[in-house]
Structure 1
Amino acid sequence: MLMKNLIVQLPRGLQARHTALFVCKVVAFKSEVILSKDGKTASGKDIMKIMDLVVREGDEITLLVDGCDKQMAMETLKKYLSNLT
């Protein structure tokens, strides 16, 4: 399992549009993805649970990825949340 703490750099954070794009990226991988913020967790494939985390620009989150393609998934999602793509 890979775990990374990171600061979300997306403008307005994970609001509806960014969350939908995030979920699209997650479902492209076989690995399980978990987002965690302030003690609450959400599956990376569950748009409503991610929205419930209320992730804003500048918030620190923990990204957990486990599975056969975890390295590629972690890099892709980390770049997306850091607004590098």
Structure 2
Amino acid sequence: MVAKEVTILCKTGLESKMAAKLIQKASEYESNIWIQKDERKANAKSLLGLLSLGISPGDTITIITDGRDEETALNELEAFAKNGMTD
């Protein structure tokens, strides 16, 4: 299991459209992926879970990956978040 903190840079935060993009990206990996904000954690492949975190622009989240491709998933999801959730 590996984890890394990332600041959300997209100007809308993690509302439904950005959450859907994150889910699409996270679903490319075999690993289990969670997003944590403060004390709450949600499956990165679940729209309802991500929306329940209430992630706003500028918030710092922790991406947690666990599985065979955890390092690749973590590095690529970090880059994805740093690019404003665009490829």
Q: CA deviation at 1:48?
A: 0.7
Name structure 1 gaps, 5 residues minimum: none
The alignment partner of 2:57 has SS state of coil
Unaligned runs of 5+ in 2: none
Residue 53 in 1 paired to residue 53 in 2? Answer: yes
String of CA shifts for 1:16-54, please: whole Å, max 9, x gaps.
Answer: 111001000111100000111020110011111100101
Kindly report the root-mean-square deviation, in angstroms, between the aligned alpha carbons of the 2 structures.
Answer: 1.1
**TM-score in terms of structure 2 length:** 0.91
Give the residue type in structure 2 aligned to 1:35: I
TM-score computed with the length of structure 1 as normaliser: 0.93
The answer on 1:23 being equivalent to 2:23 is: yes
Segments ≥4 residues shifted beyond 2 Å: none
Which amino acid counterpart does residue 73 of structure 2 have in structure 1?
A
1:33-72 to structure 2, matched below 5 A, reads 33-72=33-72
Any idea what the Cα deviations from partners look like across 1:56-76, whole Å, max 9, x if unmatched?
Answer: 110011110011111111111
Amino acid at match of 1:73: A
Is residue 77 of structure 1 aligned with residue 68 of structure 2? no
| Aligned residue pair count | 85
Distance 1:10 1:63 in 2: 16
User: Sequence identity of aligned pairs in percent?
Assistant: 26
| Structure-2 separation of matches of 1:83 and 1:11 | 11
Give, as a single letter, the amino acid of the residue that structure 2 aligns with 1:10.
C
